[in-house]
Structure 1
Amino acid sequence: MVPGRSQETVVTSEPVSYRLCSLREDVMVEVDGGGDFIMLTTHWGDATIAQPTEAVRESLERMSLGPVRLDNVLPRDPAERRRVERVLELLNGVVVHSLGHEEMSGPVLSAVPIARRARFILPKIERHRPIKLSKFAAMRASEGELVLESPLARHRLILHRPIASQVVTLLGRATVLPDLAAAANLGLPMVREIVSYLVAAGMVLIGIGDSPTSARFAEDNDPLLAPWTHHELLFHSRSRIGRHDNPLGAMPSDMRQIQVAPAVKPVPDGPRFPLYRPTLAELAAMDPPFTEVIEANRAIRDFSAGDPTQQQLGELLFRAARVRSMTQVGQDDLSYLVTDRPYPSVADRYELDLYVTVNSCAGLSRGIYHYDPQGHALTLINRSETELAELLDVAMVAAGSRQRPPVLITMTARMARFACSYGGIAYSTVLEHVGVLQQTLHLVATAMGLAPCALAFGDSEIASDAFLIDWPAEVSVGEIALGVRPEVDSLKKNRPLEMPCFTDTKRHVKVTDKLLY
């Protein structure tokens, strides 16, 4: 049901607040010539209302023009009123609910549905019940206004007036309505109205108990939410369709900058070292069977068996990450180059670049190198022992190893190469590409008798400084450590690895503390 004006706001001496409804700005309402149906074109698809009454047609047409007070559009006849209300319930996914106030020219706040299954039901909140802002809610600026969002909510709250944002900020800790009204220096009925909208939109929780200090809130002990932090759940909800209305796919033409994001990053200045190019026919004849490689593929954290050679590193990069060919696609201003490489990438964008940190590798001096996938060569870009040591120490901890890896390969992403055509899901897709490249490197390294170990994390600040890149135009997104495979873990024996033990305890504790604190 869509209630009208609450009784409490009517009987008080305060200026009256009231409920406004409108359709999302992207909804188009079309009435056929005979009036047999109304077609609504929405973000979620088309909706048809058959045999609409005059009241239904007038309500939807007025709501498509902006917020309207329901008392002014709902018919007095009870049966007709219920029919309009039922139609609005069916269209909950596109109906914007706003709180108006007679002393203000515009709404106080608006709850905008961002999912097809959005539902908006105003609760009755008793004055003694504890209330608190959800720990998953976050406030940000958007198009000149403050917006409140949560990955758990199917509405976005637009806080049009300062009193709305004031109430939100005071809900950071549990409280009750009378105390909240006193702290905000606002009347209790107005505060109750604002909080009821926040609850209906999924931003504020109603607790159990009579005291805010001892109140229990559902999300605090929910086993389904326990594995999630705020930013991870928000990232998940925004990188899949269904729980948001953010644009996906190509960005507006004036935001496309594909032409300034080259298919291959220009080679930086520095000494250049061409890498070994193996013969693919010989590799095919010498490699172990694919099934054997798959079964032997695992993360190896023991780097004590020796150091890889420049030739092995060249073979690995050639087989896993080189540019095989380049092709021009598109037309006119939207034409651009794409590349073909050994691992897959959505639309052949290949936004990932590789940096190689060499601790000990026969044929290469210690240092930090950039890999040119087109020329198949390394360029020495940084000789800093401090930054090299920091990168290797982080890798050691991330691998759970007892020593620094001989070689560390870091993946970075040039976001302008990808986000221009995959806005909204760009970064999540980049991370999928990282997994694909890590797997490709892992399999090739395993087939070569090397010891690969994909890492779960890296330090973006250290990487930005060490690789001389401009964050966030180019960001580090993944790592893989590399050594020589121990004889006891050769492809033929496939013996499971033991759990890692840390012999250098002082160094491990020191590096871990630096990472965490």
Structure 2
Amino acid sequence: MPSDVERSRPGAGLPLWSFRDDVTIETAGDGSLTILTRWGDVPLGRPAPPVEEVLHRMTYGPVALGNVAGLDRRLLRSVFDRLPGRIVRSLGSADSPVPLLSVQPVSPLGVLALPEVTEEHPIRLSRFAFAAQRDGELVLESPLSHHRVVLHRPQASLVLGALPRATTSVEVGRRAGLALPVVSDVIAYLVGAGMVVAGAGGTSDFHEDSDRTLLLWSPYDLLFHSRSRLGPHDGPAGATFRHVATLPPPAATKPAPAGPRIPMYRPAVPNARGMTLIEAVDRRRSTRAFAEAGPSTRELGELLFHAARVRKQSVATAPADVRYAVTRRPYPSAGSLYELELYLTVDRCPDLRRGIYHYHPVEHALTLVNADPATVDELLDNARVAGGGRPPPVLITVTARADRLSWVYDSISYATTLKHVGMLEQTLYLVATMLGLATSALTLGDAGIPASAFGLDWPAEVSVGEFAIGLPENEATDNDEYPGVHGM
């Protein structure tokens, strides 16, 4: 535990201490204390009365240690050392009962150490820090930090607004119109929490700009990775059913839209072409050049039947005995929720009108939803796979109905959707290989065009993947040998 538990920092700031909101204290009959927390219970025995008084006060809000008479701060520090991830550090001031900011631990590794940052030391907002509103206050978080910072008062936000580029505490105070002691204290807490970085050795060289492991990550990818797994955050994750009390269960399948309905071919027996699964795995390739001719509705029907149809519908039970629909399909899906929808943009199919179709997996049918030539051209032009001189005959755009997973799962829902896209695409690949079709999963797709082209209620339903289908023009090129821009 840093030495600042023993004394106030010089200047305007007043160090304050409190527990996370989910910490409680249990007192046994013999007077011994146990700290109850989400990351485990910590027995403390019978601490000295002043230490016990501090602990109890900390359950009600920020405490100034100087207000507790007879407190031995070395004893208190030894207790704090046993409570990592439980203690909130706040920065107060004499002119207001509301702290300037609070640094809250979000993992059991959250222990704040306040660094010494001189007035002329180069500092900058970390490129991995991001701000969001929570409960009416500005909150800073970072996938690299085991803390979040809540900015309670405008002065702290003014300091933050002066940090997008390398600067110093003196310059921040000048730009924000704040006294230098206030700025220095705020910056010390922000640096300690990992939201602001200080230059190495007093220079303008920041570690995160040269660290090879950090250079491999964009801030958005690292944030997405960290928040969709258990780790340095305290958000709910997994099957929490947090919407079960407020929202009805989403439908198992999206209702078929209005429009001309085209029933698809239903094969009488699985794998009519006779190729084994092992052969299909061995022969799977990504094709980036398609023949002028396109697949028939029979071939598309067989592909969709074996890869995406609903095999079975049933009912599951959520907390509070709420019943919701689930389905079984050829590819796996977490909780049998199946949030993915398929839209086919058809360019060249001998017995199917050019246009955009929605696939209904229960009816095993296509519904024409958009026949505008310009919209079809735009989708297909964006789907030109690398190395191909013409757009694919058929483009499958995969969308996700966000509520199907988020109604059940917290934090992991979108990450799980991306895994589902991969499993669906692999299933499409293998079935298409058995049928002799040419295919390529695309690595890059447009988020805006499908929303308008398909009439989606964005962001309730968003596009998450693209898959091109056609007939082979020549020998397929393995993606390992030709790492194209779009094709996989």
User: Normalising by structure 1, what TM-score?
Assistant: 0.88
Cα distance per residue 1:437-456 (max 9 Å; x no partner) = 11111111111111111111
Among 232, 242, 253, the residue aligned to 1:252: 242
**8 Å contact kept, 1:74–1:84:** no
- Asked if 1:264 is matched to 2:253, the reply is yes
Cα distance per residue 1:317-349 (max 9 Å; x no partner) = 000100111112217761111111111111111
Q: Which runs of 5+ in 1 are unaligned?
A: 10-15, 503-507, 509-517
- CA distance in structure 2 between the aligned counterparts of 1:496 and 1:84, rounded to whole angstroms: 61
- CA distance in structure 1 between the aligned counterparts of 2:374 and 2:69, rounded to whole angstroms: 72
Moved over 4 A (4+): 253-256, 494-498
- Asked if 1:377 is matched to 2:369, the reply is no
- CA distance in structure 2 between the aligned counterparts of 1:148 and 1:500, rounded to whole angstroms: 38
- CA distance in structure 2 between the aligned counterparts of 1:131 and 1:195, rounded to whole angstroms: 9
Among 280, 302, 316, the residue aligned to 1:293: 280
- CA distance in structure 1 between the aligned counterparts of 2:359 and 2:208, rounded to whole angstroms: 47
Matches for 1:184-333 after TM superposition, within 5 Å? 184-208=176-200, 215-248=204-237, 249-253=239-243, 256-259=246-249, 261-281=250-270, 283=271, 286-304=273-291, 306-330=293-317
Among 415, 423, 441, the residue aligned to 1:428: 415
- CA distance in structure 1 between the aligned counterparts of 2:350 and 2:375, rounded to whole angstroms: 21
In structure 2, the residue matched to 1:72 is: 67
**8 Å contact kept, 1:256–1:421:** no
- Asked if 1:351 is matched to 2:339, the reply is yes
- CA distance in structure 1 between the aligned counterparts of 2:68 and 2:445, rounded to whole angstroms: 58
Aligned length: 482
* Partner secondary structure for residue 96 of structure 2: coil
**8 Å contact kept, 1:247–1:424:** yes
- Asked if 1:407 is matched to 2:399, the reply is no
**8 Å contact kept, 1:301–1:500:** no
Q: Counterpart of 2:104 in structure 1: which amino acid? A: V
Change (3 A) 1:94 1:495: closer
Is 328-337 or 173-182 further displaced after alignment? Answer: 328-337
Q: Counterpart of 1:67 in structure 2: which amino acid? A: P
* Partner secondary structure for residue 97 of structure 2: coil
**8 Å contact kept, 1:149–1:155:** yes
Q: Counterpart of 1:499 in structure 2: which amino acid? A: Y
Superposed CA RMSD in Å reads 2.2
Displacement, 1:142? 1.1
Displacement, 1:43? 2.5
Among 108, 116, 123, the residue aligned to 1:131: 123
Matches for 1:333-348 after TM superposition, within 5 Å? 334-348=322-336
In structure 2, the residue matched to 1:505 is: none
Percent pairwise identity = 46
Matches for 1:39-58 after TM superposition, within 5 Å? 39-58=34-53
In structure 2, the residue matched to 1:19 is: 15
* Partner secondary structure for residue 148 of structure 2: strand
**8 Å contact kept, 1:434–1:477:** yes
Displacement, 1:56? 3.9
- CA distance in structure 2 between the aligned counterparts of 1:46 and 1:210, rounded to whole angstroms: 41
- CA distance in structure 1 between the aligned counterparts of 2:40 and 2:304, rounded to whole angstroms: 46
Change (3 A) 1:194 1:351: same
Matches for 1:161-172 after TM superposition, within 5 Å? 161-172=153-164
* Partner secondary structure for residue 80 of structure 2: helix
